[in-house]
Amino acid sequence: MAFIDEYDFSLLKNEAEFMVIREVENQLNSIDFEVCKCNECIVDMVAIALNTVKPLYRFSLLGTLYASQAMTEESYAGNIRDAVAMAIKKVKNNPAHN
């Protein structure tokens, strides 16, 4: 039996993913320049930002508490904001489509 079939990984969550998605939405709603908002571009923005921030995985209740504390730290939130801003500009200047 394959390793992935033996264990339940469905409860493993990356809190950074949820934070980045929310931040992309917030920044896109407040920017003063045009940027493509098709599915491909939005997912590219999220992926680019996630590749630059520290992941914040959780599995258990204790992990949820740890993740909640880390999410409230200004430096982590600032890293998320900066990564999203960079990702939006990168996709704006070089979208994956014509």
Rg over alpha carbons for the chain, rounded to the nearest Å, is: 16
Return the amino acid letter for 62: L
**Does any domain span residue 5?**
no
61 or 97: which leads in pLDDT? 97
| Number of structural domains the chain divides into | 1
Question: Is the pLDDT assigned to residue 79 strictly greater than 80?
Answer: yes
Q: What letter represents residue 4's amino acid? A: I
70 within some domain = yes
User: Domain range holding 74?
Assistant: 12-28+39-93
| pLDDT of 64 higher than 80 | no
13 DSSP β-pair partners: 58
Give CA–CA dist 91/77, Å, rounded.
Answer: 21
Structural contact between residues 41 and 35, judged by C-beta atoms closer than 8 angstroms: yes
The answer to the question of residue 2 being in a domain is no
Taking only the tens place, the pLDDT of each residue in 37-48 is: 999 999 999 999
Secondary structure element (H or E) that encloses residue 26, with its range:
helix 15-30
Q: Which pLDDT does position 50 carry in this prediction?
A: 98
pLDDT surpasses 70 at 63: no
Mean pLDDT (the chain, rounded): 88
